[in-house]
Amino acid sequence: MDFIPVNEPLLNGNEKKYLCECIDTGWISSEGPFVKEFEAKMSAAVNRKYGIAVSNGTAALEVAVQALNIGEGDEVIMPAFTIISCAMAVTKVGAVPVLIDSDADTWNMNVDEIESKITSKTKAIMMVHLYGLPVEVDKVLGLAKKYNLKVIEDAAEMHGQTYNEKPCGSFGDISTFSFYPNKHITTGEGGMIVTDDEELAERCCMLRNLCFRKDIRYVHDEISDNYRFTNLQAAVGLAQLERLEEFVEKKRRIGRFYTEALSDIKGINLPVAATGYADNIYWVYGIVLNKESSLTNREVTKLLAQEGVGTRTFFWCMHEQPVYQKQGLFRNERYKNAEYLARKGFYIPSGLALTEEQMKSVADKLHKIL
Ligand SMILES: *Cc1c(COP(=O)(O)O)cnc(C)c1O
């Protein structure tokens, strides 16, 4: 029996054709015409005026934080349970992540806990949509307005998802995407910042490219990195974007299949299929071991690997990261639901190239082990 990888992207549209165009025309760098086209189409898809493509989703968050002039001593509210890119973008500029526990059912940050964490130092809320359901956007936007805070929306896992019928990626002062191969749209590596604010967009363009001054080249007033995005990446992205709707539908099919096939297993909780504001898009199909199971996620993923099934455990909480503990951050902080998800959550093969046969086999193996 062949190993079933946790993710395999689908690249059988126009990817090859557009890539050949890059080779034939010689346009392979960030100066190539596909980059602007991809920025325009991707930002239009989420109703934004400007799109700034960067080398990955982590870079997109870093540029977003710097573009908003968040710095030394500022506080940014974010979930305790997320990818470290979110916290790194903040700590890199000397600002402090202020953490929020998760909602046990949706796995997103519990927005009802945000207000009590707002202080005079709070500059922004980082709203990270996780695993397939959006954060309760209206509550976050309401707080941001009330306290005059910026919103950074991390929509890395949300291409094609909506909140109350408006696209994810349309809500932040700045919103970001990733095009890593396990996202709904991939460019191998890649990311994008979207915004409606012209000044912010210009600042993001500068920050992604070493902060070259516009008037005199090779003269710099500020420091940043090289986060440029290539024409080759954009070629793949354009081909992927053409199929976004189809991809979202496929993800939802995978979600429905697994939910039906696994619903009789007692020791696990499955993703919430729908809320009042969104239908799950199943970025990946996550499973959380419940109180009836004594296993940890690491034990289950090991057993599944022995059965030829690729998996990943869920994210590890920010307050439990050794690197931040060494720095004395988050001392004695506890986030009960986030810690539970980090120890008991994992996801199973759910990439766009997954076949029905593979899904059946994954479900069989889960029944066997659990
Ligand atoms: C994937 C991801 C990122 C980082 O994207 P990269 O392209 O891998 O750097 C950031 N935030 C979330 C929520 C993600 O899922």
Tens of pLDDT along 292-324? Answer: 999 999 999 999 999 999 999 999 999 999 999
Q: If phi over 0 gives left and psi between -120 and 50 gives alpha, with beta otherwise, what is residue 293?
A: beta
Q: What is the DSSP string of 258-281?
A: HHHHHTT-TTEEPPP-B-SS-B--
Ligand 1: distance of its center to the CA of 152 in Å?
A: 14
Residue 49 CA, ligand 1 centroid: distance in Å? 22
Q: Of ligand 1's atoms, which has the minimum distance to the CA of residue 130?
A: 13
Tell me the best of 61, 83, 133 to mutate to test the pocket of ligand 1, counting ligand atoms within 8 Å of each CB and taking the most: 83
- Per DSSP, what are the bridge partners of residue 40? none
* Distance in Å, CA 192 to ligand 1 centroid: 11
Say how many Å lie between the CA of residue 179 and the centre of ligand 1. Answer: 8
Q: How far is the CA of 83 from the centre of ligand 1 (A)?
A: 7
Task: Indicate the DSSP class of residue 41.
Answer: H
- Atom 5 of ligand 1, residue of closest alpha carbon: 57
In whole angstroms, what separates CA 74 from the centre of its chain? Answer: 23
Pair of tokens at residue 41:
């189409």
Question: What residue ranges of the chain have pLDDT lower than 70?
Answer: 1
Strands 50-54 and 191-195: antiparallel
Pocket lined around ligand 1, Cβ cut-off 6 Å: 56-58, 83, 85, 128, 154, 156-157, 178, 180, 191
d(Cα 329, Cα 66) in Å, to the nearest integer?
Answer: 21
pLDDT of residue 213: 86
Structure tokens at 53: 């493509």
